[in-house]
Amino acid sequence: MYCALWLAATALGDVYFVSEPEESQDKPERDDESDPFSETPFDELSGRYPDERNLEEREVRVAGVYVHADAATGVRGDFVLVRDNRGRCVLIWVGQFEASAISMALQGLTGDRPLTHELLKNLAERLGGAIERVVIDDLWGETFYAKIWLRVNGKSLPVDSRPSDAIALALRAEAPLYMTEAVLEEASRPCEDLEGG
């Protein structure tokens, strides 16, 4: 049985049809049948429940911003390489403008006027907040997800973000960058494989 939802993407003017997959017959039984909301959602792609993932945050640093040009097609792709202190690297594909913003922040360069990530940092500060940290906390298919943690009035507030914007903002705000162990386990490769030794 499918439950259909219509979602409108107003920015693009497109309409997407999304359906909910049928319930799997091989899912474990719930212990408490009296509470229909007690079931932990099952992640079909990973084959595990979310609470089985290691969500410990590991500090990572940006190793660099790179451009990959496919000689056969001429297609250009920008990516950020992040690494932890255990020699694990993760490659994150980003847009050209975000790659430029991250590269400028790494080099300590600024524009004549505040660029987008400088503007966001300035806004947070002028409103009494601070960028506390950035966490790349999920991976779905080949798409990474991140949260920017803001400190406002003594409280930490998470804000969903694309990793590219979150990384650029963290670098501008000199805030630490973290990745969950689950994402590192799934997406990392030994740095020597990616950096050529």
What domains can you pick out in the chain, each with its CATH number?
54-195 (3.10.690.10)
Q: For residue 194, what pLDDT is reported? A: 76
Q: With beta carbons less than 8 A apart as the criterion, state whether 41 and 52 touch.
A: no
Report, as an integer, the average pLDDT of 110-139: 93
CB count, 10 Å around CB of 93? 16
CA-nearest of 148, 146, 138, 135 to 186 is 138
Q: What is the pTM of this model?
A: 0.72
The two structure tokens encoding residue 91: 């490659």
Report whether pLDDT(195) > 90: no
Q: Are strands 177-180 and 57-69 parallel, antiparallel or unpaired?
A: antiparallel
Report, as an integer, the average pLDDT of 47-53: 58
Q: Which tens digit of pLDDT belongs to each residue from 56-97?
A: 999 999 999 999 988 888 888 999 999 999 999 999 999 999
Q: CA neighbours within 13 Å on the CB side: how many for 155?
A: 4
Q: For residue 44, what pLDDT is reported? A: 54
Q: Which tens digit of pLDDT belongs to each residue from 1-48?
A: 223 222 222 222 333 323 233 344 444 444 444 444 445 455 555 454
Write down the mean pLDDT value for the chain: 79
Give the H or E element holding residue 62.
strand 57-69
